[in-house]
């Protein structure tokens, strides 16, 4: 096409009227089929989970007697199903949620609760440990640490959701015999697991008007002497321990 012909065609196109019909059709198409942008978090699901957790938060003063999750039977160690509701009535209850059976921090915490079992008994309180481990793993953990209290396998995280706490966190609740929460404790990340035993005993003693528990910190070595060796723990399949090279971050678990 010669330059003169191209120039003539351009002038002709410029002189033609606009075509509003086509523009209208484009606008219709865009309104009928809007483009939906995905949220940055991949959807609204994460927001829903956070809302549920916040709504289910259990605080001091909360009564759990009418909480459905509190009454639900959960598989546990020794092949037994237990509900938290069945563990109270005549006695108070200390329920400690721990991240993972066999890890260093959880082993220290579980052993310390065992070492102070008689003290809790004297204050009229039962103890129960709760984690997301399987009943089989909790069975082995209970046997290895010679724990004198039951463990519950919250594999689906229903109890954690009901209490409003995040997965893989360490939180302890103390309830009176009526099912009312008198203490909630979650230490800062990396804190000493033994603080959960101290806080629990202090809460129970304050209810009964008892003394302090200042001697607890000196019992760590005693708990270590009574606990199984690393070799004993290595004999338990699927349960990591301090000597397991695949385990890292003991201070956070």
* 23 a catalytic residue: no
- What SS3 string covers the chain? CCHHHHHHHHHHHHHCCCCHHHHHHHHHHHHHCCCCCCCCCCCCHHHHHHHHHHHCCCCCCCECCCCHHHHCCEEEHHHCEECCHHHCCCCEEEEEECCCCCCHHHHHHHHHHHHCHHHHHHCCEEEEEEECCCHHHHHHHHHHCCCCCCEEECCCCHHHHHHCCCCCCCEEEEECCCCEEEEEECCCCCCCCHHHHHHHHHHHHHHHCCCCCHHHHHHHHHHHHHCCCHHHHHCCCCCCCCCCCCCCCHHHC
Catalytic residue selected from 106, 110, 130, 236: 106
Catalytic residue set: 106
């Amino acid at each position: 096409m010669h330059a003169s012909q191209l120039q003539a065609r351009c002038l002709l196109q410029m002189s033609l009227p606009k075509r509003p019909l086509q523009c209208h059709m484009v606008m219709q198409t865009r309104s009928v089929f809007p483009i939906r942008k995905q949220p940055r978090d991949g959807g609204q699901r994460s927001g829903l989970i956070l809302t549920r957790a916040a709504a289910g938060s259990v605080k001091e003063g909360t009564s759990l007697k009418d909480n459905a999750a509190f009454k639900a039977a959960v598989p546990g160690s020794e092949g037994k199903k237990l509900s938290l509701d069945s563990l109270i009535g005549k006695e108070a209850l200390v329920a400690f949620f721990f991240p993972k059976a066999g890890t260093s921090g959880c082993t220290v915490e579980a052993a310390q609760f065992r070492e102070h079992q008689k003290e809790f008994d004297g204050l009229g309180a039962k103890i129960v440990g709760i984690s997301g481990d399987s009943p089989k793993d909790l069975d082995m953990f209970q046997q290895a640490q010679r724990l004198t209290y039951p463990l519950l396998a919250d594999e689906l995280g229903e109890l954690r959701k009901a209490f409003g706490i995040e997965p893989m966190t360490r939180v302890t609740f103390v309830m009176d015999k009526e099912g009312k929460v008198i203490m909630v404790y979650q230490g800062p990340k990396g804190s000493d697991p033994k603080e959960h035993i101290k806080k629990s005993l202090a809460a129970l003693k304050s209810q009964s008007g008892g003394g302090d528990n200042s001697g607890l910190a000196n019992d760590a070595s005693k708990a270590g002497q009574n606990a199984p060796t690393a070799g004993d723990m290595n004999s338990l399949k699927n349960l990591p321990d301090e000597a397991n090279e695949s385990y890292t971050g003991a201070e956070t678990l």
